[in-house]
Structure 1
């Protein structure tokens, strides 16, 4: 289309070919860089954030492709009329009408002669037969979607009557029934007396661009909903755990003890990653016969499901312990409880009853790391009685072990996630494995520092200083009981 005198300024002269070539080179280099980064984003669609990032990269590449082709058109000049040239080839994998070269077309409507001129690209965009005459301004609305015709009428009227620029989008319905979104920009061309002689416009098929933008918006919304849901679930899980677990900040106090027989302290260590809250727990409870219940454990799963499962287990543990059930039978009942739940789960646990009158500790375990006993500056792991994971098999029985404690002894119970390299999920205890044995030796190496500690809280602080900064994949709990005189 030849340049026109616009309503407010003369048309700008096109830039030199060398300048446009330099812009094309820069665009293609940037496109290659963006594509290289895009390929590193997982494309399996499993993560909402990955889908959102990939959609953004796709949109950026789409726009850079358009920019590359627009600059090429600027460098090469206007295309020949559609009747004089073959349609541009469609790149492999793109549907007809979606080629980059067919996305921008131009038109001029002469109001004095009622003659219209269309570029070949505009015929491609609108799906019209190149041999057919261009539509006049009065006929153009026949291609527009019913809902968008008033918009087009308003834009054209404002342009012709008030000399306003056209800048808007509307949908057109092609003869094959396909619907496209077209962005139209145009201006009136004035004659020597200041009257409107004609109107020219550039029309761009932005259908694919709008689809990409919708994909970005939808994946972003999905990611935001997923993140909000995760934050809500995490908050609920934390609130649920805090409601059922004893407070871990500071020394644990049993409510009805006169002179304390055990100095108790506990701590929860968060994961180093963004893993949701797991099913680790610890518990202490003063029983009606004067004994003290100590327990730690881990339930499979994360988030609200794991926290609600922990609440169920702790309610059962406390109820059976208050009824006088010993550690071994108590774990047997817990195993049946997990086996009967609607959503199967596995759990590990250590359950202990301490008798202050004889300083006797009776304990049982279900696939869980055994307690560590520190005395006189040295430490050892207690020999574990038989016991399988909770929920692993129907009708499992759990043995009991007994040990006599002395004044000043430190008993350390922990969940598996405390140990480096352990994911923290319940699994059969493998005391002989090299990794776990090394981790236990590291814990036992704290014996001199634990023996010198004045309180259970000081003992917990020593453990947290040693293990709190590790690359832990899951949360973990540590419970310390120090025998008082």
Structure 2
């Protein structure tokens, strides 16, 4: 039965090693979750090693008494399953230590075993009173010993766990005391490592949650405040030239921190309408704050009448000189309701999708590199004449595939509003794998 327990322990030990290898491959050395998982694996492995050593002692039986001239086997590495037994005979003053106990104390059998009076001298000073109290309770009151103390050792301080009981004579008086002492230094270190790495993980997650809340609040503050569809321009021009606009922000499927994605629709003083979408590299507060600066610049320049191409050139300079360098993509459009003309430019971003007559196609892209990639980059501008009933779709990632486009085209044809179109996009996106957050903006021509 003991052999079977030893075999099970070895199998578990091999399983722990396998788990450690998987954990090491899943998380980097500085990842708080990875450090906590590795600390738990190390602690479990140490406990299994200790259990295996104890079961081996149980199988092999009690050790033989150590002769004074006995030369012990080479010492194992510090903390590698050290443990031993001792008996102190109070009637004859004879002390018997196992070979393992000499190794635990870093002593040679030639030096002899320590008496109960000598034993505290091997402890760190702060723990001597504790051991004296444990021994006194055992000898005088007959209480079992169960306690820990720190041992002065040539390899450095060791923590030792001691369990013992009094041996009574026929009259019920204490005649001897026996004890089993075990080195639990590595066990304590493993537990401390688990606690420390767990505290670090909790701290890291608290900071991550706080940063995520801050980034989400910043994003909510700067993205368009309207929740439903936005009809722009109001009471300007024929009904078949008006824009019905709706947009939506979609968080990442894994609940990760918000990124620097944005969308916007803004009526301009000259009667035109700004439509835009974009995204920045990175996540969290840094990405959200840079996005806020970028979106503010987009709105400010659009209000002054800046055309999409030059506007993207200014955004490129802004990112290039930013204190927090980043790369970004963007598409910027100006819609003129008087002529139903869309002037637009892009910076490394997917082209707007035009849905017309039950079909879908991306607009031909003018040249434009990522924002922040090249100093003094120039952005070409293109124009597209729109028709009543057209639907324009701007989005911040390329998860809209060709098969998905055709399904959306059919639904957009029967949709009665831009909001219905957005709902169709969200339903389609929710069925697609998505590792990042996203934005969608739909503009429908004509009321």
The two structures have a TM-score, normalised by structure 2, of 0.92
Which residue of 1 is the match for residue 94 of structure 2? 115
Q: What is the aligned residue count?
A: 440
- Partners in 2 of 1:40 and 1:248 — Cα distance? 47
1:226-272 deviation per Cα after TM superposition (whole angstroms, max 9, x unaligned): 22222222221111111111247532466x94578221111223333
- The more displaced of 238-247 and 191-200 is 191-200
Q: Aligned equivalents of 1:462 and 1:374: distance in 2?
A: 13
Indicate yes or no: 2:345 matched with 1:364: yes
Question: Is the CA contact 1:417–1:476 (under 8 Å) kept in the aligned structure 2?
Answer: no
Residue 65, structure 1, aligned to residue 46, structure 2: no
Do the aligned partners of 1:269 and 1:468 also contact (CA within 8 Å) in 2?
Answer: no
CA distance in 1, matches of 2:235, 2:141: 93
C-alpha RMSD of the superposition: 2.2
CA distance in 2: counterparts of 1:248 and 1:132, whole angstroms: 86
Partner of 1:144: 123
Equivalent position to 2:397, from 416, 419, 428:
416
Q: Distance in 2 between matches of 1:332 and 1:347?
A: 12
Q: State the 1:351 CA deviation.
A: 0.7
- 4+ residue stretches of structure 1 with deviation over 6 A? none
Of 410, 421, 428, which aligns to 1:459?
421
Q: Assess if the C-alpha contact under 8 Å between 1:291 and 1:355 holds in 2.
A: yes
Check conservation: 1:159, 1:166, Cα contact below 8 A. Answer: yes
Question: Partners of 2:368 and 2:254 in 1: how far apart?
Answer: 31
User: Is the 1:248–1:268 Cα contact (8 Å) retained in structure 2?
Assistant: no
What's the counterpart of residue 18 of structure 2?
36
Report the Cα distance in structure 2 between the residues aligned to 1:411 and 1:455, rounded to whole angstroms.
12
How far apart, in 2, do the equivalents of 1:130 and 1:85 lie? 6
Q: Is residue 71–residue 109 contact of structure 2 (8 Å, CA) maintained in 1?
A: no
Cα deviation 1:347-370 (Å, max 9, x = unaligned): 110111122233222111111111
Q: Tell me, in whole angstroms, the C-alpha distance in 1 between the residues paired with 2:338 and 2:251.
A: 37
Distance 1:458 1:110, change over 3 A: same
Indicate how the Cα distance of structure 1 residues 268 and 157 shifts in structure 2: closer, same or farther if over 3 A, else same.
same
Shift of 1:26: 2.7
* 29 and 400 in structure 1: CA distance in 2 versus 1, 3 angstrom threshold: closer
Q: Is the 8 A contact 1:107 1:122 kept in 2?
A: yes
Partner of 2:2: 20
CA distances 1:333-391 after superposition (whole Å, capped 9, x unpaired): 10000000122211110111122233222111111111112222223221222211111
Given the alignment of the two structures, is residue 79 of structure 1 paired with residue 54 of structure 2, yes or no? no
2:444 corresponds to which residue? 482
Deviation by residue 1:5-55 (Cα, 9 ceiling, x = unmatched): xxxxxxxxxxxxxx3223223322333333333332216524322222222
Distance (Å, rounded) in 2 between the aligned partners of 1:113 and 1:85: 22
Paired residue for 1:244? 222
Matched, 1:352 2:349: no
1:169 equivalenced with 2:148 (yes/no): yes
**Map of 2:134 onto structure 1:** 155
| Matched residue, 2:430 | 468
Instruction: Extract unaligned runs of 5+ from structure 1.
Output: 1-18, 420-438
How far apart are the structure 1 equivalents of 2:91 and 2:133?
A: 21
8 Å contact kept, 2:66–2:96: no
Determine if contact 1:82/1:123 at 8 Å carries over to the other structure. no
Structure 2 Cα separation of the partners of residues 185 and 464 of structure 1:
66
TM-score (norm 1): 0.85
Pairwise mapping of residues 79-478 of structure 1 onto structure 2 (< 5 A)?
Answer: 79-83=63-67, 85-89=70-74, 95=77, 97-100=78-81, 103-174=82-153, 176=154, 178-247=156-225, 249-252=227-230, 257-258=234-235, 261-273=242-254, 275-419=256-400, 439-440=401-402, 442-478=404-440
Query: Which whole-Å CA distance do the structure 1 matches of 2:399 and 2:57 have between them?
Result: 64
1:269–1:476: 8 Å Cα contact kept in structure 2?
Answer: yes
State the distance in 1 between where 2:133 and 2:235 align: 87
- SS of match in other structure, 1:59: helix
**SS of 1:342's equivalent?**
coil
Change (3 A) 1:169 1:351: same
Tell me the distance in 1 between the aligned counterparts of 2:382 and 2:182: 81
Task: Evaluate the alpha carbon distance shift between residue 248 and residue 272 of structure 1 in structure 2; reply closer, same or farther with a 3 A threshold.
Answer: farther
